[in-house]
A = this chain, B = another copy of it.
């Protein structure tokens, strides 16, 4: 659980708002993209998880702290760290920084729940997924 995953994010017009900086809700999308790529790096595509195991991750609880605004054309990266693995949930910490920096522009702590994809109800994670999260 000590591995750190990195994913690059580039800021486009679609990400900004009339305040001249990144719209606050869009940081939450960047963290989601990075989680998708973190899972892919562990060997899991979410389309395949849904198809093979009938389940998916949903966000249960998310705390976001905004430190410094990002701007159009910025080259950033997200780091993702697992902080706890439960039977039906995973806790993560994610941080967004400039490409050559570790100073967080924005960071989040969140809890993902594993749910049955049909009924969207909490269920136990597949063993293969839990093992990968624990390595």
Contacts and interface: CB of A to CB of B under 8 A. Distances in A.
This chain: how many copies in the complex?
4
Interface of A: 10, 12-14, 16-21, 23-26, 28-29, 32-33, 36, 45-48, 56, 58-66, 69, 71-73, 117, 120
- A-B pairs with lowest CB-CB distance, top 9: A16-B18, A25-B28, A47-B73, A24-B59, A63-B63, A47-B72, A62-B64, A14-B29, A45-B73
A14 B19 CA distance: 11
A14 B35 CA distance: 12
Given A59-B24, A66-B58, A17 B16 contact: yes
A16 to B, nearest CB: 4
B23 A20 contact: no
A13 B33 CA distance: 8
A116 to B, nearest CB: 11
Contacts of A12: 29, 32-33, 36
